[in-house]
Chains A and B, each alone.
Chain A
């Protein structure tokens, strides 16, 4: 999908940013004992970073750029519904782009633990997909997300969730999407382009740790024609789409967090691991071929202001290429290691320094590498600041 607008660097910065820097609440004192009317909230997040080198499959350009920033409004619509909308802003190839990433209604009064959502929203597959990228612990999303989900996959659709009345957390969910955001270059089809099924379970382990496991399946009906050239080249309209797709995707995500006596304000250890596999990558290719990706991250909160994180990602893809009517498949591998140090003077600000290394393997029949420009070493200095309402951050 093309962005809402693009602004070339010489044109003035949009004034809307400053205009929307609102305070979150207008809490006037109310008559005591009466419930306060629920207020609408607005917020702005700015993510500015300077990068020494762009990463293969990365979302940040070399040099200074705006990362995933957003303008957000959310609030109640009567007793039965709540709504949220946000516009994501970032620079790509030195141009400012805006996309509507969220515009949805969700029920709050369905019985029996049921909830429905309609509109545009991020799919709840995996651990990170539904979270706002500016809340991530690293300056780029894991390779898994960048390669297989276009960074984060949001789309137009419907969701139905059921939270079970169990003593531990158990949620079953189903989503249907147009699927246009996942594989935009695919020829148009009628009906739902993508469907997901999702299971989440989680609980505490003693007073200091808690865990969550998720398993998701995506069935995708939108399949691309085989590219005649490598898709890694910056073909702009595809930049938010999955670089590698297929008919079916499985994602498993496991998160474990530990804080002494549960007081995560002072210290915390967070471990997360995600594994994804895509099958049915092309109708003319060997059906046993798979795209696979994994990410493992550990982040320590050393004290309220400092965090240190390590992340290790790998990606294996089968790149189908059309060579005069014959489909050839080239296997490519990409490994990525990142270490980051973050300073958080308040929870509304983060200053992060990150070092990332990539190594690529694999070439096609002609000897052209599948991943042409891995970053041997990339250093990013990133600053994130939020004004007004914070995004609702989940576990």
Chain B
């Protein structure tokens, strides 16, 4: 009897929630998929990319065109991160809702100020320079909060039927994030002023947030794969400046970083970290940031003599 009652309750709930049709969301990167799921758990969210892919180098695949065709809202980074593939998807999807300037096209980079803008644009020889600034902004929890507030508004605009849910979920996320930020500040206090060797500006916002500095970059120019001559220079810099660690993303080729770590004879640990959320479970964003901070804090603690 009780199971029948339970089943009836679930069915009723399903009918009620099904009544207000959940929206379909196309996220360019997994962090925005995670944020959308946090703010509107009923939404059908698919991420175009995952943490083992370099978001600069995605192809406008047929499956992605079909995904965008069927979406009510696209949530992307902007600032030219997706310039090699998103415009093609928008041009081919035949979906008026997700064109630039429409409520269904949300760019996170338009909600916050970016670090390291490059004035005057880029030449063909400067590598993959983003004139508007570093687009990998999701690794800064303060900017993430600003984006979350703007995205909540946008979700409510695109899906008015779910406004009540979104208005409940946003303050919850704010509380959770603020609570974690207090913990992270404590964990990361010893990281301030430390230097790392890194590859690309992938974790640029992490260094900025935690007060750390980049002593050298494995890429000779942004987006350009490391060359032997450049790696020799980085090795010399590493020997002179004694970095806390070499930190690269999981989607980078690990070989140059491994070579450097080997040349340094085990004095400098190598950390290969995910550049974005590696799973699509609830709470993924906070878990991922947790992982980043604790990994760096542990590396720092271990480096102490």
Contacts and interface: CB of A to CB of B under 8 A. Distances in A.
Interface of A: 23-27, 29-30, 32-36, 38, 76, 79, 82, 106, 108-111, 113-115, 161-171, 200-204, 207, 210-212, 257, 261-266, 303-305, 345-349, 385-387, 390, 392-395
A30 B91 contact: no
Given A108-B96, A304-B225, 8 more contacts: A23-B123, A79-B99, A163-B95, A169-B63, A203-B63, A210-B62, A265-B57, A394-B92
A177 B121 CA distance: 39
B53 A263 contact: yes
A33 B62 contact: no
B142 to A, nearest CB: 14
B117 interface: yes
B75 interface: no
The winner among A34, A113, A349 for most chain B CB atoms within 10 A is: A113
A43 B80 CA distance: 15
Q: Which of A23, A347, A394 has the most CB of B within 10 A?
A: A394
B131 A387 contact: no
Contact of B96 (A109, A202, A203): A109
B151 to A, nearest CB: 11
A166 B62 CA distance: 11
A202 B59 CA distance: 13
Contacts of B56: 265
B100 A390 contact: no
Given A265-B54, A265-B56, A163 B92 contact: yes
B69 A29 contact: no
B61 A210 contact: yes
B62 A25 contact: no
Nearest to B121: A23
A305 B110 CA distance: 32
A201 B58 CA distance: 19
Interface string B86-112: 011011111110011110010100111
Contact of B88 (A111, A212, A262, A393): A393
B84 interface: yes
Contacts of B251: 263, 265
B94 A168 contact: no
A207 B47 CA distance: 12
Nearest to B66: A169
20 contacts: A23-B120, A24-B121, A25-B131, A25-B132, A109-B96, A110-B96, A114-B94, A168-B66, A202-B61, A210-B59, A210-B63, A212-B62, A261-B50, A264-B53, A303-B253, A304-B225, A304-B253, A346-B223, A392-B87, A392-B88
Contacts of A76: 100
A26 B54 CA distance: 25
A172 to B, nearest CB: 11
Contacts of B124: 346, 348-349, 385-387
B127 A257 contact: no
Contacts of B58: 264
B9 interface: no
Given A169-B66, A347-B128, A113 B94 contact: yes
Contacts of B295: none
The residue in B94, B120, B224 that gathers the most chain A C-beta atoms within 10 A of its C-beta is B94
Nearest to A162: B94
B221 interface: yes
Nearest to B90: A108
A215 to B, nearest CB: 14
B110 A34 contact: yes
A170 B63 CA distance: 10
A168 B64 CA distance: 9
B52 interface: yes
B58 to A, nearest CB: 8
A177 B99 CA distance: 28
Contacts of A392: 60, 87-88, 91
A358 B127 CA distance: 38
A266 B96 contact: no
Nearest to B52: A261
Contact of A346 (B121, B224, B253): B224
A305 B59 contact: no
Contacts of B83: 390
Nearest to B127: A346
A262 B52 contact: yes
A163 to B, nearest CB: 4
A161 B110 contact: no
Nearest to B122: A23
B70 interface: yes
B113 interface: yes
A79 B101 contact: yes
B95 A113 contact: yes
Contact of A35 (B52, B87, B100): B100
Contacts of A170: 66
B66 A167 contact: yes
Q: Which of A34, A163, A390 has the most CB of B within 10 A?
A: A163
Contacts of A166: 66
Contact of A204 (B53, B63, B95): B63
Contacts of A32: 110-113
Contact of A203 (B66, B93, B117, B224): B66
B60 A38 contact: no
A171 B89 CA distance: 13
A261 B253 CA distance: 13
Contact of B63 (A106, A165, A202, A261): A202
B62 A26 contact: no
Contacts of A33: 110-111, 150
